[in-house]
Structure 1
Amino acid sequence: MITTKSQQDGSYDKFGVSTPGALETDEPWISRFTDVLRKFWSLGFIAFGGPQAHIAILRDELVVKAEWIGEEQFTELFAIGQGLPGPTSTQLVVSCATSRAGPVGGVVALLMWNMPGLIVQTTCGVLVTSFIDPDDPPFYLAGLAPAAIALLFKAAYGFSGQLDKLGCTMALVSCIVSVIIAGDNVIDKGVCQWVYPLLLVLGSVFCLIDSKRENPFGTTYTKAKPGWDSDSDLTFKRIGIPLWVGAFIFLLWAAVLAGCLIIRAATTGEKGGYLALFETMFRVGSIIFGGGQVVLPMLYGEVVDTGWISSSTFYQGFALAQSLPGPLFNFSSFVGGAYLGVGGALIAYLGLFGPGVILIFAMMPFWSKMRHIDWFKAVLVGLANTAIGFVFAACFLMYQNAVTSAASSTAFAVAGVMAMVYKYPAPACIFGGGVVGALLNLAELGQKPY
């Protein structure tokens, strides 16, 4: 929890908003950095269920429990991550930790969030070991995904509380579009690469226009409370990235991407090596919208059709990634490890994660300085309304994939009750549901598919 100190002539609330006359002071950086270490060292071990379930875990840990940031700020950062290419949940980890302890805190949180899954993926990729059968996962993993989905439902319920009627309508539209794209056998799943960004842009434009009307449909614009930097630049100082540095970071990403495209054009006849691996991963990471699920079709043609790894190895690695905690983008280390060993795993990891992480660092200072400007606030509201619809779509889609039997339904119910009724933290809920699912699967109870 933020414990910004007050002075005799003023004070700060728990989110760092200064009251009139306050003199700005803050906790020492080392104390805030220690908070990041304490919070994130364990999350990388329990972050099962895919990117949308990760959002639920992060909201529960950082907003509800630790009270690092408010619901509104968390949703804004989530919406910004949705609007950028790359792994949304990882970008949210970086942005939340950076707003607490600066870029060093963001980088450390990133590594702690990714490390457990990264190590296993790299090891299995190098050894090309098929530990996980996609159609028959080990009994001890059977309850983890349903438990994580229960937390996703909790997060969706929490997000819905901040929506007005206009926000609900916008979320419904983006939810319907997402469900139809994912659930239709005719529609090419690759269209999400332009449909998701288009929905976010349209939502932002609509809210921006609506906010200018004399009697807007939405009420969020007028009800929004002053936030972190309305009277104080405390959060901007905590982020520690000047605006010009943010602009430079963005240009750095553009330059590396341009270099990758030049390399691709110049080496048309050459199909392998470390440079080609990095170019492929960085280019794909720069155009992936929609999170980890989009990685599969995007990467398949790049690494299988070129002969870097076999189709069976590719699917084994992706199944393994889905069974492990952490972001699905860790799959890149499996591909790189299977192709070029440990060095290839690190190159592939840096290439695929690089664009999304670079861009979220570039956006952070602009977000903290501009989030109270009226037009930018309206844009953020539009992004958030649309992005919340994606969360609800994930609830429907992931539930039908993860909850397929009486045993998995029981694990889902146990974790949900632990989270919603007894208010246990996310790790305990996932562990509790996971244990129930494992025991039922071990005893072969409730195994008949629905």
Structure 2
Amino acid sequence: MPLASLTTVAREWGRIGVLGFGGPPAHVALLRDLTVKRRAWIDTREFEDAFAACSLLPGPASTQLAIFTAMRVAGRTGAVVGGLAFILPGLIAVLAIAAVSLSSEPPAWIAGFGAGAAAAVVAVVAQAGIALIDPRRGLVYVVAGTAGAVFLGPYVVAVLLLCGLASLGRYTLQSTVWPALVWLSIKVGALSYGGGYVIIPLMREDASAWMSPQAFANAVAYGQITPGPVVHTVAFVGYGAAGLGGGLVAAAIAFAPSFAFVLIGGPHFERLRGSKHVRAFLDGAGPAAAGAILGAAVPLLDSFEHAWQWVVLALAGVALLRIAPIWVLVAGGVAGVATTL
């Protein structure tokens, strides 16, 4: 028997989607407060195990946790309702911002806010990459990753083949936006390990065909400031590529794997979490994710068009020692607005 009605799921998960500023830590805290503390739908151990399993999957872990907890209290239909309720508020906000900021003549204060937030986001991205580094593991990461690749050999070959065919299709049909946009969205939703920031290096090269470096840096910043997962950034890029339709298609493709992983694999989460092969593979992928994120921070510097953005970056780096990233980004945006007055 379902523990909650679909109306309750839509309302509660929608509330989290509206209030979920601050990235995955905030999302997990809000979901835990709802399902474990206030409603007692799920016990603490099951919740923590579910989050651990979601963290082993590619794609946005907090989104997958939202889908799983909704399925746990209202079945598969509840998973769809809860997942959409969690995703849509931030998606709508990102698409609205994209419509304004990517217009031919955006308001000066919007451009200033984006430039300021984009300067601060470089420090936030660098901090996220550094946080993934575990200096105690060293070479063990490489050995574990190799072992994982050996045990999962057929799957690795299949993924590489898929990547190769998709890349071939992309360059063969490079005159058309849609194949490249679809491939970008697949990478974001199904092939990204190591947290939301990994999508930055996955998207940057493709996005350069549709928007300037400054616009892409703005997209990364707006994906952080709006509620919900940072994966919403892909909708901003999709809007830049093909308007509203591109934004919606990009988001649908990017989030579809999360629904599929949970709806199909949810009953097997405990076995997934305990798999030594999966753990070994991800132990090797972890350092690669950290390197990719840190590497993504460098090209974002190319977006700087004003000298004052370097000042914002320096102040953001100091502020992150004590202040949550979302407030650092907002402060950077406010500083940018101030330069337009």
TM-score, structure 2 as length reference: 0.65
- Given the superposition, is the C-alpha separation of residues 285 and 258 from structure 1 closer, same or farther in structure 2, using an over 3 Å criterion? farther
Letter in 2 for 1:297: P
Taking the aligned partners of 1:332 and 1:176, their CA distance within structure 2 comes to 23
Question: Structure 2 matches for 1:137-286, cutoff 5 A?
Answer: 178-180=132-134, 198=145, 262-271=165-174, 272-286=176-190
Measured at CA, do residues 98 and 319 of structure 1 come closer, stay the same or move farther in structure 2, by a change above 3 Å? Answer: same
Q: Does 2:50 match 1:77?
A: yes
The number of residues matched between the two structures is 272
AA aligned opposite 1:178: L
State the AA in 2 paired with 1:262. L
* 1:312 match: 214
TM score, norm. by length of structure 1: 0.51
Q: Is the 8 A contact 2:24 2:62 kept in 1?
A: yes
Which amino acid in the other structure matches residue 58 of structure 2? P
Q: Distance in 2 between matches of 1:255 and 1:351?
A: 20
Are the counterparts in 1 of residues 16 and 27 from structure 2 also a CA contact under 8 Å? no
Larger radius of gyration: 1
Root mean square deviation of aligned Cα:
4.4
Q: State the distance in 2 between where 1:51 and 1:352 align.
A: 17
Q: 2:99 aligns with which of 116, 122, 126?
A: 126
Task: Look up the equivalent residue of 1:325 and give its one-letter code.
Answer: P
Distance 1:90 1:362 in 2: 15
Question: Structure 2 vs 1, CA of residues 377 and 179 (structure 1 numbering), >3 Å: closer, same or farther?
Answer: closer
Q: CA deviation at 1:352?
A: 1.9
C-alpha distance in structure 1 between counterparts of 2:130 and 2:50, whole Å: 23
Shift of 1:343: 0.8
Shift of 1:313: 0.7
Aligned mates of 1:72, 1:50 — CA distance in 2: 23
**CA 1:33–1:288: 2 relative to 1, 3 Å:** same
| 1:290 aligned partner | 194
In structure 1, distance between residues paired with 2:68 and 2:272: 18
Secondary structure of 1:92's aligned partner: helix
Q: Residues 62 and 257 (structure 1 numbering): CA distance in 2 closer, same or farther, change over 3 Å?
A: farther
1:328 aligned residue: 230
For residues 123 and 257 of structure 1, what CA distance do their matches in structure 2 show? Answer: 36
Out of 247, 254, 268, the residue aligned to residue 352 of structure 1 is: 254
Q: 1:356 to 1:312 in 2, by over 3 A?
A: same
Instruction: Give the direction of change, closer, same or farther, for the CA distance of 1:62–1:350 in structure 2 (3 Å limit).
Output: same
**Which of the residues 27, 44, 47 maps onto 2:17?**
44
Equivalent position SS for 1:268: helix
Which AA in structure 2 matches 1:73? E
| Change in CA separation of 1:111 and 1:257 when aligned onto 2, cut-off 3 Å | farther
Aligned residue for 2:241? 339
- Which residue does 2:306 correspond to in 1? none
| One-letter code aligned to 1:264 | S
The 1:297/1:97 distance shift into structure 2, 3 A limit, reads same
Superposition deviation, residue 265 in structure 1: 1.9
CA-CA distance at 1:263 after TM superposition: 4.4
Matching residue of 2:86: 113
> How many Å separate the matches in 2 of 1:131 and 1:325?
20
Range 120-129 or range 260-269, more displaced: 260-269
| Cα distance change of structure 1 residues 403 and 66 upon mapping to structure 2, 3 Å threshold | farther
> How far is 1:88 from its partner?
0.5
**Gapped regions of structure 2 (runs ≥ 5):** 118-123, 150-154, 287-314, 336-341
Which structure dedicates a bigger proportion of its chain to helix?
2
In 1: Cα distance, 2:9 partner to 2:316 partner: 31
